[in-house]
Chains A and B, each alone.
Chain A
Amino acid sequence: MSDATNELGETSKTGLKKVRRLPPEVSILAVLIGIALVFEVIGWYVVGESFLGNKQRLSIIVLQVAVTGIIAVGVTQVIITGGIDLSSGSMVGFIAMVVASFAQTSMNARAVFLQPEYAAFGMDWFIDSSLLWPLLAGILLGALLGYINGLIIAKTGIPPFIATLGMMVSARGLAKWYTEGQPVALLNENFTWLGQSFNLWGFPVPRTVIVFFIVAIICHIALSYTRYGKFTYAIGANPQAARVSGIDIGKHLIKVYAVAGLLSGLAGVMLAARAQSGQPNMGVSFELDAIAAAVIGGTSLTGGIGRITGTVIGTIILGVVTSGFTFLKVGAYYQEIVKGAIIVAAVVIDVHRQKKKSRA
């Protein structure tokens, strides 16, 4: 969590060398600003307009990545424990389908759960809410699938890569099975409201982005200030030592994977609301974008290192790159090629950083 490249040597009273470190996010943020400025400059020369000066574009940048960002916040925690979650993209697809089916205009909770003649004790708004029930369904289903991931990993001891690969394939199957491949459309407006933007000082702000930031803040607090967070880092840093320190590794891993699943579920809800439908092929390869965002943000695939703030910046970097290439009218194929290179470069830097640290 500390970055050897950013240190200011300073001698303390004890005569021992005291090192003050800048948080590693500073260097990632610098990369983000650097990339944005490069697009700005090229933009003036090539396109003849400002890249960053366009409010619409700025909101699109974040909107584009907000859904993968929510997933990335979850997968960051999984990677910190030394694991990986490949199932999030497929879970988004399946959950978007289920959520959409709960949010169709023709349905509400009264129709699903209660007889029409039931009195609602003045709680009609609650029972009839076409926002609450799909949201709950998505989150709970996500948490359940994540819990299954964690349970399999903790109880059988198989590598997280394999366990979540299995879930990835199965969840995609579930997404197709749920409606036999048909999309679910015509969603209630109360629900799709979640996927739209509101105006803030002239900026169109998508609600998805707000959800992303709230999720990021909550998880940042959880990782930094709670026992849950301390144990997450401990397990990734040294599982044997964590076990001897009395941490129930299996139990904790189940929690972390359930949290990651819950966030995938939330991402599915937001995606369905924004797209105003559920489609079985939604979320394909989102898991890779999320992992990429975490890694670019400084999360180490070997575990024990990573912060949500870094992941948020990593997510935005991916958004800026995508948006910047579109702005420069670079074809989608080239975009993917470059995105791949960026991910590899981020890991190379990470490995280099680790080596430097272990030499110190």
Chain B
Amino acid sequence: MARSQAVSPQTMQAVRQSGAVPQSEYLLEVSDVRKEFPGVVALDDVQLKLRRGTVHALMGENGAGKSTLMKILAGIYTPDSGSFKLRGIDIRLKNPLDALQNGIAMIHQELNLMAPMTVSENIWIGREPLTRFGLIDHAEMNRRTAALFERLGIDIEPEIKVGKLSVANRQMVEIAKAVSFNSDVLIMDEPTSALTEKEVDHLFRIIRSLREDGKGIIYITHKMNELFEIADEFSVFRDGKYISTCNSADVTRDDIIRMMVGREITQMFPKEPAQIGDVVLSAKGLTLNGVFRDVSFDLRAGEILGFAGLVGSGRSNVAETVFGVTPADAGTIELFGKHVDVSSPSIAMAHGMAFLTEDRKETGCFLLLDIQENAQMAVLQQRYVNLGFVQQEKLNKAAAEMANRLRVRTPDMNEPIINLSGGNQQKVLICRWLMTNPKILILDEPTRGIDVGAKAEIHRLISQLAGQGVAIIMISSEMPEVLGMSDRIVVLHEGRVTGILDRAEADQVKIMELASR
């Protein structure tokens, strides 16, 4: 068994320091890696081989398992099973520090720097050079930083506070920090997502020089053109499974898209034909500075309008703006033919809108409160209140009926919502909105993180509601869900609508193309 042979990270570290590191073809080699989370298999026997002096891209849709694999490589998660070889030697990393000390450094998507401290302090934190009195030797620290920056071609003052740096420069600091650990393996998670073209060029120059030093770089990206520009090899993942590894010189864009989306639609989506009525919501030129631009679409009664796009494409932001959570900087919204300034959620609700948010925990549930209260909170704006007093009995009855209709599984409506499963919590939140009798229902990832059974129930419900004439916007990262449920699909890419497809003409490849051009 791999586990019994595994060398401890400490031994490995000692070997590495002695300089007697055996040469092997692959810097890093993982195979048969499996990782389960409650209810989901995140990684199903995947493999990855990273050669010395190469940039290796990981490709896949949202939820394909890239992030989980990366976190395993960086020691943040431990795999349930599988072998993990570093420079040809079996090893088991127990935590991120193990990984770092063995030459695997990860540059996080959300940067992990301390803004009030200087660049030098951030890079050398925990490893500060000391004077002979045991105090921190700032001069030496800044010297080392300057030397490191020179080697990498980075032009940043070591003594400046990180908080004053641009996002791009912070990223450079993160990379320098990773290099300062003498890391052989650098993991970059969508490093260009917040950079301008010029900054991307600079980053690529640094990556190329690291590659020439014989380091291995794992590069996660959604952007096809970057893949061809910087990656030597790439591996594709889909639904937690490893698909294949290729040289990026040998394939075309279309090949990769096919590998990424090439699954069959196995789940059945009970989309019932619905009577499509008049336009109820018309967005024209909606703009939120720095997030999305010039977004226009119409929504009709009885229609399910899918929103597709990668994470960060602005899908959820558009929904938030339409509901008044973050009012638009420019553009107009017409509801039922009348122009409405939707500047707060209560205005949206007054016009018959409802919004199931993406993040159940952050913006959905009141985790401290019980099911009853969670289900009732939105409708209290409109009904069941007399002279300020809540008509509790009537309201409880209505909530219980709704919960019953949605098959919320709970012994007691007074149970804290935190005790319910994700699927049931989601149903309670849908209860909350259906109790307001919405005419326009916005659903952001309505089935994320819930089991298959509950998923099918929610799909059936969405379809039913559309049949009753409710206009529905459904945002989803799951391609089959969008394709199976929507009458039309709005595709967004980097804050712009890149296409609106009809049900008949839409397929995965078309959407993927529009979403990642």
Report the separation of the CA atoms of residues A236 and B373 in the bound assembly, to the nearest whole angstrom: 13
Please state if A230 and B345 are interface contacts (CB–CB under 8 Å): no
Give the residue of B378, B392, B412, B415 whose beta carbon is less than 8 angstroms from that of A245.
Answer: B378
Structural contact, A237 and B385, CB atoms closer than 8 A: no
Q: Mark B18-54, 1 if CB is under 8 A from A, else 0.
A: 0000000000000000000000000000000000000
A49 at the interface (CB under 8 A from B): no
Q: Is the CB of B373 within 8 A of A230?
A: yes
Kindly list chain A residues whose C-beta atoms are within 8 Å of the C-beta of B365.
Answer: 238, 241
Are the CB atoms of A16 and B409 closer together than 8 Å?
A: yes
CB-CB under 8 A from A56, the residues of chain B are none
- Interface contact A243-B364, CB-CB below 8 Å: no
| Mask of B91-135 contacts with A, CB within 8 angstroms, 1/0 | 000000000000000000000000000000000000000000000
- Interface hits, B408-452 → A, CB 8 Å: 409-412, 415-416, 418-419, 432
Contact-residue size bin, chain A (C-beta under 8 Å from the other chain): 20 to 34
Shortest beta-carbon distance, A19 to chain B, in Å? 7
Whether the Cβ atoms of B357 and A244 lie closer than 8 Å is: yes
Q: In the complex, which residues of chain B have a beta carbon less than 8 angstroms from the beta carbon of A18?
A: 411-412
Q: Which of B363, B366, B412 is within 8 Å of A12, CB to CB?
A: B412
Cβ contact within 8 Å between B366 and A230: no
> Across the interface, which residues of B come within 8 angstroms of A358, CB to CB?
418
- Residues in B with CB closer than 8 Å to A2 are 370, 416
* Chain A residues, Cβ within 8 Å of B348: 246
Shortest C-beta distance, B422 to chain A (Å), equals 16
Assess whether A234 is interfacial by the CB under 8 Å rule. yes
Task: Please tell me the size bucket of the interface on B.
Answer: 35 or more
Q: A238 — nearest CB in chain B belongs to which residue? A: B366
A4-26: CB near B (< 8 Å → 1, else 0) gives 00000000101011110000000
Is A212 in the interface zone, CB < 8 Å from B? no
> B345's closest neighbor in chain A, by CB?
A246
Interface string of B338-350 (1 = CB under 8 A from A): 0000001110110
Give Cα A268 to B69, complex, Å.
63
User: How close is B244's CB to chain A, nearest CB, in angstroms?
Assistant: 41
Q: Do A234 and B390 form a contact, CB below 8 Å, given A12-B412, A244-B355, A248-B344?
A: no
Residues in B whose Cβ lies below 8 Å from that of A234: 366, 369, 373, 377
A243–B419 CB distance below 8 A: no
Q: Which residue of B lies closest to A231 (CB)?
A: B380
A7-47 residues with Cβ-Cβ distance < 8 A to B are 12, 14, 16-19
Instruction: Say yes or no for B146: interface residue by CB 8 A criterion.
Output: no
Check if B381 is an interface residue, CB within 8 A of chain A.
Answer: yes
A242 within 8 A of B: yes
Interface residues of A in 199-250 (CB under 8 A from B): 225-228, 230-231, 233-234, 236-238, 240-248
Other than A226-B388, A246-B346, give 4 A-B pairs with Cβ distance below 8 A: A230-B373, A230-B376, A238-B368, A241-B362
